[in-house]
Amino acid sequence: MTRLLILNSSNLADIVHSLQVATSLKEQVTDLEITMVVRDSFAPIVRACPAVANTAVFYRQGGVLAFLRLTRELRRTHFDLLFDFQGLLRTGLMAWRADAGRKIGRSDARERAGLFYDEQVPLPAGGRRSHPIEILLQFCPLLGAKAELRGQLAFREVAGLNLDFALGHGRGRPIVMFPDSRRPERCWPGFKQLTDLLLREDRTRRVVWAGSHYLPDKDAFPPGQFLNLTGNTSVVSLPALVGNAAWVIANDSGPLHLAAALGVPVLGIFGPTDPRRHGPYPLLAPTNHVIQAPVGDLRLLPAKEVYARFQRLGAPARRTLASS
């Protein structure tokens, strides 16, 4: 058995990208056991992914003692290889303390993390401006795998989730919107107006708002057509919620990338970030669509323009990444 340790204590989008690459490695490499270090807030979604056998938790607010406990845990198992997918000082220090035969990191690592690696993988042809997934795929050949996505990202079912409205039960799948993003400049202010346009146009349509931060709706929409889960969306519920959507409409955020990874049709709303570098992957998949605000300012993107774009798109059939 080959034991691989993957380090990525970053945000949800990066975690999703790491899980996609882990899934591809499991698909291509026989007898591979993957352990992944993940930030505490995202540990539930990693534990639910069958591609990852073991999860080690980085407690971001735990201080030095929590970090030392984590590094002691990483020394209890000998790993054949270590991949640092993040390339920051904290993951570099984790790599230094871990017991691994080969410690490999990114050639674009920052904060002097490269000092703690035995070797570094080259960047893809696009260099530093490559899509994050394309950068992570460069680790695959170190295990004899091709630098491409294979297999379908999957998650185990979680007992006790109450998603009756979102799951449809014969009423059709809802449009799930994520109005939030971890950076304020990436938050488009037009989700309320877009929801109103969508629900007025089709009285049978249902819309769900979701996300970690509460966004008030002031009972503006019919309860039979609308459900507000913002501020009440757990990380562990995201795969089921997203996976059962007809569409996901979201800012540049982790849920957008999760939906694309699951093959759900997406419309990503981009402002200052470049969708050619940070868009839903694969960028040319028929289920992945983006719209970018003029001069990168989301305040200049009217809801009517997003609505018109959505209407033109129709409803593309789902497909798996394995068929791409």
Digit-coded pLDDT (tens) for 281-320: 999 999 999 999 999 999 999 999 999 999 999 755 444 4
The answer to whether the beta carbons of residues 91 and 153 sit under 8 Å apart is no
Q: What is the pLDDT at residue 324? A: 35
Q: What is the pLDDT at residue 183? A: 83
What dotted CATH number matches 164-315?
3.40.50.2000
CB-side neighbour CA atoms (13 Å) of 47: 13
Q: What is the pLDDT at residue 93? A: 97
Q: What is the pLDDT at residue 164? A: 63
For residue 295, the SS3 value is: helix
Compute the distance between CA of residue 297 and CA of residue 224 in angstroms, rounded to an integer: 34
Mean pLDDT per 10-residue interval, the chain, length 324 residues: 96 96 98 97 96 96 94 96 97 97 97 96 94 97 98 86 58 90 89 96 91 89 91 92 95 96 97 94 95 96 97 64 37
Q: In what order do the strands lie in the sheet with 100-106?
A: 54-58, 32-39, 2-7, 79-84, 100-106, 119-121
The answer to whether the beta carbons of residues 82 and 118 sit under 8 Å apart is no
Q: Which of 285, 286, 282, 211 is nearest to 249 (CA)?
A: 211
Tokens of 86: 């993040």
Q: Are 2-143 and 164-315 in the same CATH fold? A: yes
Domain positions in the chain: 2-143, 164-315
Q: What is the pLDDT at residue 170? A: 53
Query: Cβ atoms within 10 A of the Cβ of 28, count?
Result: 16
What dotted CATH number matches 2-143?
3.40.50.2000
Calculate ∠ Cα 162-53-154, nearest 5°.
Answer: 45
Alpha helices in the chain (DSSP H): 12-28, 43-47, 63-74, 89-97, 132-136, 164-167, 191-201, 238-243, 254-261, 275-278, 303-313
